[in-house]
Amino acid sequence: MLTLVAAAALTLSAFVPTAETAVDAPPDYVTVQVRTVNGSGCPAGTAAVAASPDRTAFTVTYSQFLAQAGGESDPTDFRKNCQLALELGYPQGFTYGIAQADYRGFAHLQRGATGMEQGSYYIQGTSPTARKSHSYTGPFSDNWQATDATEWDAIVYAPCGEQRMFNVNTELRVTAGTSTGTSFMVMDSTDSSVSTTYHFSWKRC
């Protein structure tokens, strides 16, 4: 695994609950540090963490996460993945879970080609979330967005009083099928970077 030199210390807030949810107010501070990164979709130095503008979540951004197939693509380019280990710091007396993950990007798929985004996340020592995939069929050339939401009563929280890594695993896959030409998937059409947002749910221990 590769260790990122820079880590972000960010102030974050909780995911905004609905009237039917009972979520505690967030702690005064949260820090998020990217400890390790591994995978063909995120070479060293190409993944970063940042707070969302409204401070309700954190965003993982990748600058070289692109899968492609067909044309003159390398045979290994059809699948790209990235696994991150994030360390969260916050005051004692709180614990967190992830209520929702949002993925967005851009896909250009020739007729006969298909693309897929798949993601999962889990807190160290707990069972991973079920992998949820979102498929797209060519002809398709547009932005795309996918959301994986967890029911509030099913959110898995980190154990109280223990420091656990938060693991994120994402994958892009493109299959040429019967198409001609090159098809590809990335996650942002304007700056060629992948941006994935994870929404916190906080509770007191």
Cα–Cα dist 134/152, whole Å? 22
* 107-111: average pLDDT: 96
pLDDT 10s digits, 59-75: 888 888 999 999 999 99
Average pLDDT over every residue of 39-51: 83
Total number of domains constituting the chain: 1
Q: Is 20 a domain residue?
A: no
CATH code of the domain covering residue 131: 2.60.120
What DSSP string runs through 55-121? SSEEEEEESS--EEESTT--GGGGEEEEEEEEEEE--TTEEEEEEEEEEEEEEEE-TT-EEEEEEEE
The pLDDT of 7-27, averaged and rounded, is 44
Instruction: Tell me what pLDDT residue 55 has.
Output: 56
pLDDT single digits (tens) 117-137: 998 888 888 876 767 899 999
Note whether residue 122 is domain-resident.
yes
pLDDT at residue 145 is higher than 70? yes
CA angle at residue 134 from 132 to 136, to 5 degrees?
165
Tell me if 112 is assigned to some domain. yes
**Does residue 13 lie within any of the structural domains?**
no
Residue 47 lies in a domain: yes
Q: Which domain holds residue 82?
A: 31-204
- The candidate with the shortest Cα–Cα distance to 78, out of 179, 167, 146, is 179
**What are the pLDDT digits (tens) for 163-184?**
889 898 999 999 999 999 999 9
29 compared with 71, residue with greater pLDDT: 71
